């Protein structure tokens, strides 16, 4: 049976917030509220073990290519937010935890449950 | 401070501490019991530009020193007389947070320099016992249009480093910055500092347009050989280069630049027969990763067999000489097919020639587990690459951390 970790009150989070909670003695879980959805991932990058959840939350970068195939610049796409590991910059899609550069790598994902005002991670 | 991210999400950071950032590295250290054997980092860095006001005081030339004092006391605008001005953003626009946050990290106000405190923090977290410390912006100084500026600043930096950093911490060593743009100054630098106990070797910054086989350098190599310490070539990128800088993405100029400069130098070193002229001078190729070595070995061997008359001093294949050289591991490529990496290790005789390096605090640093967790190495090979090979190469005294150390 999954262990329940009380994260805190849902009202303490605003859009884009995260909280990192202990998960046993030697690990943590990052809990995020993004686009109104709750996400939880292990604070452990599959690359070299960096604390991925301690990094920035950044919007996906996209190239703007015109109809004639010419490059017009770059833009942020806030529909897809990325967790960025602060050690080396590996980026992970907040929606599923997959590394956007190579989707066979991913952060370990945990379920989040809301019980009234309380936010729990099932670890 | 607030770190600007994409426009709707800023991240407020209360404080920054290297030890905290590297908590997971410390967990790896304990889980793998790194305390059981010495780990030597052959390539790590500090930001000497943050101490430039201290360094310029060591400059001999009064005119250059005056210029340096003016620049470090506030400058005259956006220009600097020292840095040839490399464009770049290794921090991936702040995604690698230790770059923008490093200035907020506090260190004790005691008799140890801030750079010693910062170095020990990450060394202890990773389980590193000894390091070879290199500068950061000065890695571009080989491009400076004034040879006398490289010479003057190198001498000042070497003096400052040995008096204020390595003298204060037994675990920090250096390979001496050699001002290669001025062959006479290079020789004098090796003469003046070569015997210093904290100088474990000599370092030429690779990003430059000087031919390593030019005659004026021969007496310097001979002196290095006589002193008996290795010569390292430390690579870098250069977005201003007409060829390897010919990209609009830093990814490319970094991926190519860090390999190509060392590739050119190693080719010239080998085909001109310098390993035959200086058979006891060991060379170390620093911060180019590993994938380039099989490429250069194969290209050189292939051409050499057809054009032997252009490399008549060689008594074996170019790759035979390259197998006797030393290589630092970082940034180690991690192909999905591990057998590619294993083949590379075999080709360079990694069990004796490969030296682990972190390159910390730079953005593409490697922690020791990149070596320790490789499935095709046995425990003895891991320990050699993480420390034993460097201890032998540099004749490093590790008694302060491992009084009973014996080579494996």
Q: Does B1 touch chain A (CB under 8 A)?
A: no
B92·A89 Cβ contact <8 A: yes
pLDDT in tens, B247-264: 999 999 999 999 999 999
- B95 contact residues in A (CB cutoff 8 A): 55-56, 58, 84, 86, 89, 91
Q: How do beta strands A4-9 and A118-122 pair?
A: antiparallel
| pLDDT attached to residue B261 | 97
Into how many domains does chain A fold? 1
Residue B71 pLDDT greater than 90, yes or no = no
Q: Give the pLDDT band of residue B9 (cuts 50, 70, 90).
A: low
Q: How far is B27 from chain A (nearest CA, A)?
A: 7
**What is the average per-residue pLDDT within B30-35?**
98
Q: How far is A2 from chain B (nearest CA, A)?
A: 24
What letters, b where the CB count within 10 A reaches 16 and e where it falls short, cover B336-374? eeeeebbebbebbebbbbbbbbbbbbbbbbbbbbbbbeb
pLDDT in tens, B139-150: 999 999 999 999
Per-position DSSP letters for B385-398, written without gaps between them: IIIIHHHHHTT---
Tell me the domain boundaries of chain B: 28-393
Task: Residue A36: give its domain's CATH number.
Answer: 2.102.10.10
| pLDDT attached to residue B8 | 56
State the residue range of the domain holding A85. Answer: 4-122
pLDDT in tens, B87-131: 889 999 999 999 999 999 999 999 999 999 999 999 999 999 999
> In chain A, which residue's Cα lies nearest the Cα of B22?
A50
Cα–Cα distance measured from residue B220 to residue B216, given in angstroms and rounded to the nearest whole number: 8
Q: Given A81, A86, A91, which is nearest B97 (Cβ)?
A: A86
| pLDDT attached to residue B7 | 61
- B365 contact residues in A (CB cutoff 8 A): 87-88
Q: Spell out the residues 6+ positions from residue A94 whose beta carbon is closer than 8 angstroms to its own.
A: A32, A34, A39, A57, A80, A81, A82, A83
Q: Given A51, A76, A91, which is nearest B24 (Cβ)?
A: A51
DSSP state of B48: G
Q: Does B249 touch chain A (CB under 8 A)?
A: no
Helix (H) or strand (E) segment spanning residue B205: strand B199-205
Q: CA–CA distance from B405 to each of A83, B120, B216 (Å)?
A: 43, 21, 41
User: Which CATH code for domain B28-393?
Assistant: 3.20.20.140
Helix (H) or strand (E) segment spanning residue A64: strand A57-65
What is the pTM for the complete model shown? 0.96
**Environment class of B249 (CB within 10 Å of its CB; exposed 0-12, middle 13-18, buried 19+):** exposed
pLDDT in tens, B371-394: 999 999 999 999 999 999 999 999
pLDDT in tens, A78-102: 999 999 999 999 999 999 999 999 9
Cα–Cα distance measured from residue B278 to residue B365, given in angstroms and rounded to the nearest whole number: 32
CA dihedral (A8, A11, A17, A20) in degrees, to 10, reads 0
Copy the structure tokens of residue B381.
């090979």
């Amino acid at each position: 049976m999954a262990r329940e970790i009380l994260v805190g009150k849902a009202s303490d989070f605003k859009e884009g917030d995260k909280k990192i909670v202990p998960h046993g003695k030697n690990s943590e879980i990052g809990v995020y509220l993004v686009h109104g959805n709750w996400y939880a991932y292990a604070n452990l990058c599959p690359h070299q073990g960096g604390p991925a959840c301690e990094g920035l939350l950044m919007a996906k970068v996209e190239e703007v290519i015109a109809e004639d195939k010419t490059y017009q610049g770059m833009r942020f796409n806030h529909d897809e937010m990325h967790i960025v590991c602060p050690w080396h910059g590996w980026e992970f899609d907040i929606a599923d935890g997959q590394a956007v550069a190579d989707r066979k790598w991913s952060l370990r994902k945990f379920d989040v449950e809301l019980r009234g005002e309380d936010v729990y991670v099932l670890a | 401070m607030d770190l600007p991210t994409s426009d709707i999400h800023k991240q407020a950071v209360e404080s920054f501490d290297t030890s905290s950032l590297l908590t997971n590295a410390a967990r790896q250290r304990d889980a793998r019991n790194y305390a059981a054997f010495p780990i030597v980092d052959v390539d790590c860095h500090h930001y000497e530009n943050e101490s430039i006001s201290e360094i310029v005081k060591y400059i001999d030339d009064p005119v250059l020193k005056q210029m340096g004092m003016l620049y470090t006391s506030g400058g005259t605008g956006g220009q600097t007389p020292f840095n040839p001005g490399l464009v770049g953003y290794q921090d991936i626009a702040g995604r690698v947070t230790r770059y923008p946050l490093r200035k907020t990290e506090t260190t004790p106000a005691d008799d140890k320099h801030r750079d010693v405190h910062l170095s020990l923090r990450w060394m202890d977290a990773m389980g590193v016992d000894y390091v070879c410390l290199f500068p950061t912006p000065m890695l571009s100084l080989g491009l400076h249009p004034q040879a006398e500026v490289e010479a003057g600043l190198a001498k000042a930096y070497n003096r400052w480093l040995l008096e204020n950093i390595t003298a204060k911490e037994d675990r920090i060593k250096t390979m001496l910055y050699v001002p290669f743009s001025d062959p006479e100054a290079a020789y004098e630098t090796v003469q003046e500092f070569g015997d210093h106990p904290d100088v474990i070797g000599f370092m030429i910054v690779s990003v430059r347009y000087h031919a390593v086989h030019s005659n004026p350098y021969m007496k310097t190599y001979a002196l290095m050989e006589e002193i008996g310490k290795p010569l390292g070539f430390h690579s870098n990128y250069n977005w201003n280069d007409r060829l390897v800088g010919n990209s609009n993405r830093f990814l490319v100029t970094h991926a190519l630049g860090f390999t190509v400069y060392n590739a050119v130098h190693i080719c010239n070193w080998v085909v001109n027969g310098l390993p035959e002229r200086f058979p006891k001078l060991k060379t170390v190729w620093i911060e180019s990763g590993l994938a380039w070595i099989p490429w250069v070995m194969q290209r050189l061997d292939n051409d050499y067999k057809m054009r032997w008359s252009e490399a008549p001093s060689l008594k074996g294949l170019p790759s035979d000489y390259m197998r006797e050289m030393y290589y630092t591991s970082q940034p180690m490529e991690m192909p999905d097919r591990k057998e590619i990496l294993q083949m590379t290790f075999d080709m360079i005789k990694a069990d004796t020639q490969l030296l682990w390096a972190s390159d910390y605090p730079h953005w593409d640093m490697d922690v020791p587990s990149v070596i320790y967790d490789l499935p095709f190495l046995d425990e003895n090979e891991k320990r050699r690459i993480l420390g034993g090979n460097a201890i032998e190469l540099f004749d490093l005294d590790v008694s302060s951390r491992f009084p009973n150390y014996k080579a494996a």
